[in-house]
Amino acid sequence: MPYEITPRMTNPAYVLADAAPAIQNLVKATRQGGVPESTLELVHLRASQINGCGFCVDYGVKSAKKAGMSDEKLFAVAAWREAPYFSEEERAALALAEHATRLADTSDAVPDEVWDAAADHYDEKQLAAIVLMVAVTNMFNRINVTVKQPAGVGF
């Protein structure tokens, strides 16, 4: 018998009428920075893994597959440092995503070397897209974990 999770409430983005369109516009804006869709999906997936958001991990895997990501790469996202499937650009974005997600883990949450590595591969507009993707993903994670949004179920 499959494990069932019952959400505590309707997703807050849909309870408050202005929230969903605003969030959708923010997500749309991340796609305007010139970062490959697959890289944004990696960033989303890694932040969601760190935060334990089952809904976002499930959604992220499906979105990444639609963006053409290989199964090998998807299976290795949590261990990207040790896996050979990621480019230097993707590694820099993943490192930035991890540090920006784990803000409380160290006193210098996003150290200069992490930022500089990302800035070596991405211009300011691209960095803006990555930073916004990490931020909006962390928002999604916090909403979905709080309301117990089950994985594999639409809103």
pLDDT tens per residue, range 64-94 = 999 999 999 999 999 999 999 999 999 999 9
pLDDT at 86: 98
146-155 pLDDT tens trace = 999 999 876 5
Q: Is the dihedral of CA 52, 39, 94, 65 positive or negative?
A: positive
pLDDT at 7: 94
Please name the amino acid found at residue 41: E
Is residue 133 within 8 A of residue 31, CB to CB? The reply is no
DSSP assignment of 72-106, as one string?
HHHHHGGGTTT-TT--HHHHHHHHHHHHHH-GGGS
Closest CA to 136 of 64, 28, 12: 28
Is residue 96 within 8 A of residue 87, CB to CB? The reply is no
Kindly state the tokens that stand for 154. 């639409």
> How big is the chain, counted in residues?
155
Q: pLDDT at residue 1 above 60?
A: no
Residue 152 CA to residue 48 CA, distance in Å, equals 14
Architecture of domain 36-146: Up-down Bundle (1.20)
- Phi-psi domain of 148 (left: phi exceeds 0; alpha: psi -120 through 50; beta: other): left
DSSP type of residue 148: T
The structural domains of the chain, with segments of one domain joined by +, span 36-146
Report yes or no on whether pTM surpasses 0.75.
Answer: yes
